[in-house]
């Protein structure tokens, strides 16, 4: 493999390993994809149900950023449905290409690889303004980038989930250290005020009422902690 492509791919891997959100991943991938094969444009496509969402791009002129197309009516969709790369040297001589979507663009040739070959979650597309046939090596490095991208996306999902788990644990700890300890201290204080020589309701009615209010508050806090705890995911 060309040493310059190796360097670009290694740099992309290093950057993707530090990416903590999808926007950062897309920024790295669209730039790297274009550099790897000397393309005039690159797109980052996400699968959204039965739609292909062109989430980001890096190109000499606008392509389809922000637009959505039926998965059955675009090349990125074909790539995901068939779970394999596609190379089209002349877009005007391939019946899979929705020509009307491409006609306003500079695109003459393209290559597209799926992000994850098992149950693809998206695709990476690269485009040329002149008729061009990418090499097997070009396709190979693009697929390598897509495979790395798939892992990075999974890592982002795990990272976000862990952040949420940590927030839940923090909230539980806060409730336990504040909302639980306060009513316990109140109950201890109220019990000290009870006249145990005369436990008649008349003598202690105000204290009993305050105990009831405190217990109700305590019960509400326990329910909140139980509800939060139910959101925690336990892994084996």
The answer on 123 and 183 residing in a single domain is no
| Of 68-72, 191-195, 198-202, 214-218, minimum mean pLDDT range | 198-202
What is the chain's mean pLDDT, rounded? 85
Helix, strand, or coil (residue 111): strand
Residue 38 Rama label (left phi>0; alpha psi -120 to 50; beta): left
**pTM of this structure:** 0.71
Q: Work out the pLDDT band at 180, boundaries 50, 70, 90.
A: low
Query: 198 pLDDT exceeds 70?
Result: no
Q: Are 161 and 233 in contact (CB under 8 A)?
A: yes
The string of pLDDT tens digits covering residues 24-45 is 999 999 999 999 999 999 999 9
The answer on 177 and 151 residing in a single domain is no
The answer on 210 and 143 residing in a single domain is no
Q: Are 29 and 149 in contact (CB under 8 A)?
A: yes
pLDDT of 177 reads 61
pLDDT of 51 reads 96
pLDDT of 236 reads 43
Q: Are 10 and 32 in contact (CB under 8 A)?
A: no
How many structural domains are present in the chain?
2
Give the domain-ending residue among 155, 174, 205.
155
The answer on 171 and 137 residing in a single domain is no
More confident residue, 153 or 177: 153
The answer on 225 and 141 residing in a single domain is no
The answer on 70 and 39 residing in a single domain is yes
Question: Is 64 inside a domain boundary?
Answer: yes
Q: Are 27 and 57 in contact (CB under 8 A)?
A: no
Question: Is 235 inside a domain boundary?
Answer: no
Question: Is 236 inside a domain boundary?
Answer: no
pLDDT of 36 reads 95
Mean pLDDT (whole number) for 213-234: 70
Q: What is the CATH number of the domain that holds 39?
A: 3.30.450.40
Give the domain-ending residue among 155, 171, 201.
155
The answer on 178 and 143 residing in a single domain is no
What are the b/e assignments for 29-67, b being 16+ CB within 10 Å? Answer: bbbbbbbbbebbbbbbbbbeeeebbbbbbbbeeebbeee
Please give the residue range of the domain that contains residue 123: 3-155
């Amino acid at each position: 493999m060309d040493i310059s492509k190796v360097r670009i791919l290694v740099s992309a891997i290093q950057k993707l390993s530090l990416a903590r959100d999808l926007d950062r991943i897309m920024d790295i991938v669209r730039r790297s994809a274009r550099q790897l094969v000397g393309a005039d444009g690159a797109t980052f496509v996400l699968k959204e149900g039965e739609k292909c969402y062109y989430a980001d791009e890096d190109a000499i002129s606008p392509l389809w950023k922000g637009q959505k197309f039926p998965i059955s009516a675009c090349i990125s969709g074909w790539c995901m449905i068939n779970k394999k790369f596609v190379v089209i040297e002349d877009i005007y001589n391939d019946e899979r290409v929705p020509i009307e979507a491409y006609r306003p663009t500079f695109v003459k040739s393209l290559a597209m690889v799926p992000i994850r070959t098992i149950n693809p979650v998206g695709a990476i597309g690269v485009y040329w303004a002149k008729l061009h046939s990418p090499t097997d090596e070009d396709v190979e490095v693009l697929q390598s980038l897509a495979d790395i991208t798939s892992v990075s996306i999974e890592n982002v999902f795990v990272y976000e989930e862990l952040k949420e788990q940590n927030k839940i644990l923090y909230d539980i700890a806060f409730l336990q250290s504040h909302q639980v300890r306060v009513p316990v201290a109140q109950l201890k204080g109220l019990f000290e005020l009870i006249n145990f020589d005369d436990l008649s309701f008349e003598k202690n009615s105000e204290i009993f009422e305050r105990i009831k209010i405190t217990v109700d508050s305590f019960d509400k806090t326990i329910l909140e902690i139980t509800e939060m705890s139910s959101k925690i995911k336990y892994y084996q």
